[in-house]
Chains A and B, each alone.
Chain A
């Protein structure tokens, strides 16, 4: 069955970086985009970006102004989201999800979420 398992909770400092992993199984990793979404405390879901595991190409919302880097390791069937220059409002649960076979496809399977707490 399709599974996405994310790395554990992180507590990190203002201005630092955090890297969240998303290990997939149960399907052909390179065939489906990986999407990243976050939810800050008391807020709604916010789409962050996608990565094409086949080509490594990625795109993300301008909200993050180049602070986010999406990568993947096809040998491990794992995608990564790194967020730098962390601010207090980056405290959130970060989710990865299996998107479609094109960038337009929305998430059908989700990771369990990774809580990132930015401490001052």
Chain B
């Protein structure tokens, strides 16, 4: 089981803002950077956020993220049908000496 906990699902109507949380501990989020990925099952995940809040080139500015203490969050504004996917947080865990992924959140556009 993952050490980073996310809500299993989140939803919104087109145009709304959806926020996904990622809860960890001092050994991971509390002391290391967080990344966020969008994943359509069966395909390669896509990096949405690196270094806690940095959007790579090509990622829409509707996507934003933040980190505070041992938690992080991802926000999708102006929700679109193409945002319907699975979203994962990830980071390094000092206790495990390895990377960990969050449990994943399925975003549904109603």
Residues on A facing B (Cβ under 8 Å): 35, 37, 39, 44-47, 49-50, 59-61, 93, 95, 103-104, 106-113
Contacts and interface: CB of A to CB of B under 8 A. Distances in A.
Interface of B: 2, 32-33, 35, 37, 39, 41-47, 50, 56, 86, 88, 90-92, 96-104
Contacts of B101: 37, 44-47
B44 A95 contact: yes
B42 A106 contact: no
Nearest to B56: A108
Contact of A110 (B45, B50, B99, B104): B45
A60 B103 CA distance: 19
**Majority SS at the chain A contact face:** strand
Contacts of A49: 98
Contact of B44 (A35, A50, A59, A111): A111
Nearest to A4: B44
Contacts of A45: 37, 39, 45, 88, 90, 101, 104
B32 to A, nearest CB: 7
Contacts of B47: 106-109
A39 B103 CA distance: 12
A93 B41 CA distance: 10
B90 A106 contact: yes
Contact of B42 (A93, A104, A109): A93
B75 to A, nearest CB: 19
A44 B7 CA distance: 13
Contacts of B33: 104, 106
B2 A44 contact: yes
A111 B43 CA distance: 9
7 contacts: A49-B98, A61-B98, A93-B42, A95-B45, A103-B92, A106-B90, A106-B91
Contacts of A35: 99
